[in-house]
């Protein structure tokens, strides 16, 4: 499994892929190559750290000071051991990365279908906290 920072960044790519692609197209390079290299490394089960670092740097060079970290669920937030609103006495359902490679999560919502992993196209896996 990826380390904490890498997992967070990979989750951001999965959850915000189209937004990242648009930002890259609108940036100085006008090229989606950096995000495509991240996806290829993740699909191949390879090391994504280098590709994520390049994508992060390209986003920063395009004028986004937070780079890839600005897309994470915890951008600008102080994290605790448990997400806010999660009970410690009852098992809460949550959906996670199907391969366990990233830190993406999704809380069930009425009438909203469970999302799929952008990298593998698999449905996020259900777990209990």
Q: What is the mean pLDDT of the chain?
A: 82
Q: Which long-range CB contacts under 8 A does 71-80 form with residues at least 24 apart? A: 71/12, 71/13, 71/15, 71/16, 71/19, 71/20, 72/8, 72/9, 72/11, 72/12, 73/8, 73/11, 73/12, 73/15, 73/105, 74/8
With both helix axes pointing from N to C terminus, report the angle between 49-61 and 17-26 in degrees, rounded to the nearest 10.
50
Count Cβ atoms below 10 Å from residue 4 Cβ, excluding itself. Answer: 10
Answer whether 0.85 is exceeded by the pTM: no
pLDDT in tens, 66-112: 889 888 765 544 333 445 554 444 567 899 999 888 999 999 888 89
- What distance lies between CA 64 and its chain's CA centroid? 17
Average pLDDT over residues 19-24: 91
Domain ranges of the chain: 4-71
Per-residue pLDDT band at 128 (split at 50, 70, 90) = confident
Spatial separation of the C-alpha atoms in residues 21 and 18, rounded to whole Å: 5
Average pLDDT over residues 61-65: 84
Question: Please, what sign has the CA dihedral across residues 16, 22, 27, 30?
Answer: positive
């Amino acid at each position: 499994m990826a380390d904490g920072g890498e997992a967070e960044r990979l989750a951001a790519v999965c959850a915000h892929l189209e937004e990242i692609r648009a930002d890259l197209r609108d940036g100085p390079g006008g090229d989606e190559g950096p995000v495509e290299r991240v996806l290829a490394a993740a699909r191949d089960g390879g090391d994504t750290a280098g590709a994520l670092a390049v994508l992060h740097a390209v986003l920063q060079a395009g004028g986004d000071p937070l780079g890839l970290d600005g897309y994470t669920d915890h951008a600008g937030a102080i994290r605790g051991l448990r997400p806010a609103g999660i009970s410690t006495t009852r098992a809460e359902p949550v959906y996670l990365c199907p391969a366990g490679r990233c830190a993406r999560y999704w809380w069930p919502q009425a009438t909203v279908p469970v999302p799929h992993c952008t990298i593998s196209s698999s449905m996020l896996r259900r777990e209990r906290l």
